[in-house]
Amino acid sequence: MRKLGAALTTALVLSITAAVAPTPAHAVTNDPVVIVAGTFAGQGLASVYYAPLASRLRADGRQAYIFGLPNGGLTDARDSAKALNNFVDAVRAQTGAARVDLVAHSQGAMVSRYYIKYLGGVNEVDSLVSLGGVMYGTSLANLATLLGIGNCLGFVGCAQMGIGSSFLNDLNAGDDTIGNVYYTNIVTSMDEIIIPYTNGYLHNDGNNVNTNVRGQCWARIIGHVSIALDGAVYSGIQDALAKRAIDYNCWAL
């Protein structure tokens, strides 16, 4: 019964997304894009907050869907990854696409990588574009764990984002950019959540690009939350999805 309910919920989300924001017919030539939300963004909040990013993608002729983290990402990231797997399967069934592209913000990148590595996503994802992703953890989660007396204020998803967490150690063991997925990790040196911001990078083994948007756009004010909405960052997302060198338009709105 629980599985049936989850399936119905996913189908409802997809049908609502498609009905509210139709996509140009020529978008079928591109992989559908699933925007994977960050911490605290359940489906309701995610559908609002990431709507501008989805609109940009649709204006570029791409089918775009928004995935909010179950329970706002405060529970086990492995469960969020399972839900993402189901969501992507529904997108692929609806669109007929063999693979999707993922644009993942913050914890969403960590969840996306678990799906890719352990739940078959390596065969279902073409590109993963991370925006301020939790790749090697953040010291803020370690601090919260300390203050929460060992359990990050009681939230499993928070504890899993700590530097050196068993979850991240497992996720990053061996090749942390597995398969033929094309990985792009966009960070900002002004990130106030991912500390240090370079923990948003992955090791480069030929299918991975690490880039700091402020390296090119040094005068631009971009933080952890705004990275998902910034115009210059979006120009980098466009390059990443096209698998070309990242050349930010620092004047983009």
Q: Which of 225, 167, 224 has its CA nearest to residue 197? A: 224
Q: Which single residue is written with the structure tokens 């900002």?
A: 188
Radius of gyration of the chain (CA): 17
Per-residue model confidence as pLDDT tens for the chain (253 residues): 444 344 444 444 444 344 334 444 333 458 999 999 999 999 999 999 999 999 999 999 999 999 999 999 999 999 999 999 999 999 999 999 999 999 999 999 999 999 999 999 999 999 999 999 999 998 876 554 444 444 556 678 888 998 999 999 999 999 999 999 999 999 999 999 999 999 999 998 889 999 999 999 999 999 999 999 999 999 999 999 999 999 999 999 9
Q: Which of 73, 54, 80 is nearest to 193 (CA)?
A: 73
> In this predicted structure, what is the pLDDT of residue 140?
77
Question: Is 253 part of a structural domain of the chain?
Answer: no
* Residue 76 within any structural domain of the chain: yes
Is residue 251 included in any domain, yes or no? Answer: no
Helices 77-95, 107-118: axis angle to 10 degrees equals: 70
Entry pTM: 0.87
CATH number of the domain residue 234 falls in = 3.40.50.1820
Exposure letters 202-219 (e unless 16+ CB within 10 A, then b): beeeebbbbbbbbebbee
- CB–CB of 101/125 below 8 Å? yes
Q: Which two three-digit tokens encode residue 171?
A: 């996720």
Number of domains observed in the structure of the chain: 1
Flag whether 162 is in a domain.
yes
Question: What does the pLDDT read at residue 92?
Answer: 98
**What range does the domain containing 174 cover?**
2-241
Q: So what's the pLDDT on residue 142?
A: 53
pLDDT of the residue at 146:
43
Domain contains 215: yes
